[in-house]
Amino acid sequence: MALFHFSVTQVKRSVGQSAIASAAYRAGEKLYREYYGEVSDYTRKKGVVTADILLPPQAPAEYKDRQTLWNTAEKAERGKNAQLAYSFDIALQNEFSLDENIALARQFLSEHLLSRGMVIDYAIHEPDTEDGGIPNPHFHALCPIRPIDENGKWGMKQHRVYELDEGGDRIRDEAGNYVFNAVPTTDWGSPETLEAWRQAWAEICNTKFAEKGLDCRIDNRSYARQGIDLIPTKHEGPTVRAMEAKGIRTEKGELNRWIRATNKLIREAKQKIAALFSLLKEVKVELAKPREPTLIELLNAELTERNAGAWSNRAKVGNLKNASALRSYLTAHNLTTVDDLMDYMRTLDAKIDSLKAASKSKSERIKEVDDLLRMTEYYAEGKPVYNKMNSIKFKGGREKYQHENEAVLRRFYMAQQKLKPFLSSEGKLPITPWRKELASLKQEYEALQIEMKPIYAEVKQLWTIRYTAERDWINSAGKISPRLKNMSRSFDSVLVSEVISFR
């Protein structure tokens, strides 16, 4: 199944991250970090297919060595909260061979990043799927945020643009300092550039799909921007997919199953309503008589015609029961004319839109609360480790302990950053309220799905009425347009299974 996933984040010292450690992990190598005096060893990491470094013409040749590149990049950043690198995480396609995916990754990196003067350290990953999980080929790319100037030296990430008064002189603030704005020296971090990159990757993959004669395509736009009335699922990641493949049901997996079930009901109901609207509009054009026949009249005419051709009394009784059920439905809902039916379908369509909006709102909040609770677990796991590390007096011992617990501390720093706005003055988090809210949201989400099912059943009932009365609607017009004939024929094959299952 074609998949679009393209995310760009930053590697930051402020949350305990290191460019050397990130590069070692992605390449599956052992690298020494001069800034921290530590070693990052990921030589046991599986699934790394290939890793390489792409350099612009002005970059020193020694930067082809991964350890040299990232140690010099980290030395150029002196601030304790420095932003070190852009980290790209991009999904490859299961429809392509490994060689094709590698070629597409290199094409994208060369045409859209290297051409901008960016240094690129990339790695292709294809995790093992021996447990029967869905393959998850992807590639990572690390690019220093600081550009390299024409002399092969690390350049400035930003420059000052001073604010001027009407006379063209610099403006001072209350402390007597000149007022300025920090302007990036490149466009690498702008939203417009990110959007251009995402679109370029989608176009490269879609060109390959077309070249191979495949119908699937990917789209860099969100559902909302594509005009698709569906609720987006939550990205699961390789760990969750591996657990689900082994039969272990996860929170993200459950949420995505709920979302997919809701999307299926919404999609099918909307499709049926749209098809019904299309047909009824055609029928109204064709019915050029002063008075349109009522729906009951059309159903009665259909019953008469069916019983005239029935082979047995049993068949006649069955036709009578079906017609009676449909008449009861129309009477109960006060549906007399074709216009009444169309108006009623509009109300159902509006209900579906309302339920979809409510479902989307609930699912988004579920994701937020679920992420917050996951952060609390990281925080609780890492807090004692963090405290112990700070209690070690000697630098060597402290750095050794930090290296041994690098993963736990990284998660702790991330959680600390995200949970900071929710910490009370006593340093407590609203974990119990979050858990209660999450349980309540899940119940509400399930209730919305339950509410959706009878509406969907009603749409199917209306579909059945349309099928039963279609012949008489057309005959009432006295003539049949070629377009309506073709529409009737094309609908028949789709409707037969629906009608049989409903009757």
pLDDT at residue number 498: 34
Is residue 34 domain-resident? Answer: yes
Q: Establish if 378 belongs to a structural domain.
A: no
Residues 6 or more apart in contact with residue 62 via CB below 8 angstroms: 68
Q: Is residue 32 part of a domain?
A: yes
- Report yes or no on 52 lying in a domain: yes
Closest C-alpha among 101, 278, 134 to residue 201: 101
Q: In what order do the strands lie in the sheet containing 6-12?
A: 6-12, 83-91, 138-144, 120-125, 48-54
For residue 376, the SS3 value is: helix
Inform me whether the pLDDT recorded for 482 exceeds 60.
Answer: no
Burial (CB count <10 Å: 0-12, 13-18, 19+), residue 168: exposed
Torsion angle of C-alpha atoms 384, 386, 387, 390, degrees rounded to 10: 160
Start-to-end CA distance of the chain, whole Å, equals 35
In three-state secondary structure terms, 101 is helix
CA distance 214 to 95: 9
In this prediction, residue 120 has a pLDDT band, given cuts at 50, 70 and 90, of very high
CA distance 237 to 500: 41
Q: Most confidently modeled of 52-61, 168-177, 474-483?
A: 52-61
The better pLDDT of the pair 457, 122 is held by: 122
Count of helix runs (H) and strand runs (E) in the chain: 14, 9
State how far the Cα of 93 lies from the Cα of 212, in Å rounded to an integer. Answer: 13
Question: Exposed, middle or buried: residue 287 (CB in 10 Å: 0-12, 13-18, 19+)?
Answer: middle
More confident residue, 237 or 387: 387
Over pLDDT 70: what percentage of the chain?
Answer: 82
Q: Which domain holds residue 193?
A: 6-215
Find the CATH number of the domain harbouring 162: 3.30.930.30
Collapsed DSSP state (helix, strand, coil) of residue 289? coil
Cβ-contact 352, 458 below 8 angstroms: no
Q: What is the pLDDT of residue 231?
A: 65
Q: Which residue would you say has higher pLDDT here, 200 or 320?
A: 200
Q: How far apart are CA 149 and CA 182, in angstroms?
A: 19
Q: At 8, give phi and psi (nearest 5°).
A: -130, 125
In a domain, 348, yes or no: no
At 118, the amino acid letter reads M
In a domain, 49, yes or no: yes
Task: Note whether residue 224 is domain-resident.
Answer: no
pLDDT-derived band of residue 435, with 50, 70 and 90 as boundaries?
very high
| β partners of residue 10 | 86
What 8-state DSSP symbol labels residue 88? Answer: E
Find the angle CA(481)-CA(483)-CA(489) to the nearest 5 degrees.
105
Tell me the pLDDT tens digit for each residue of 6-26. 888 888 888 778 889 889 999
Return the ∠ at Cα 303 (arms to 278 and 273), rounded to 5°: 20
Q: Is pLDDT of 64 > 60? A: yes
What sign for the dihedral angle of Cα 55, 61, 63, 67? positive
Could you write out the DSSP letters of every residue in 145-180?
A: SSPB-TTSSB--SEEEEE-B-TTSPBPB-TTSPBPE
Q: What is the DSSP letter of 64?
A: G
CA angle 215, 220, 222 (to 5 degrees): 110
Which is more confidently placed, 92 or 491? 92
CB atoms near residue 284 (< 10 Å): 15
Angle of the 237-245 helix axis to the 251-286 helix axis, nearest 10: 90
Residue 277, amino acid: F
Q: How many domains does the chain have?
A: 1
Structural domain contains residue 286:
no
Outline where 84-159 has alpha helix (H). 98-112
- Contact (Cβ atoms closer than 8 angstroms) between residue 38 and residue 56: no
Average pLDDT, the chain: 79
- The per-residue DSSP string of 412-480 comes to HHHHHHHHGGG--TTS---HHHHHHHHHHHHHHHHHHHHHHHHHHHHHHHHHHHHHHHHHHHHHHTSS-
Burial track 236-269 (b if 16+ CB lie within 10 A, e otherwise): beeebbbbbeeeeeebbbebbebbeebbebbeeb
Q: How far apart are CA 35 and CA 18, in angstroms?
A: 9
pLDDT digits (tens, 9 = 90+) for 417-433: 888 889 888 888 899 99
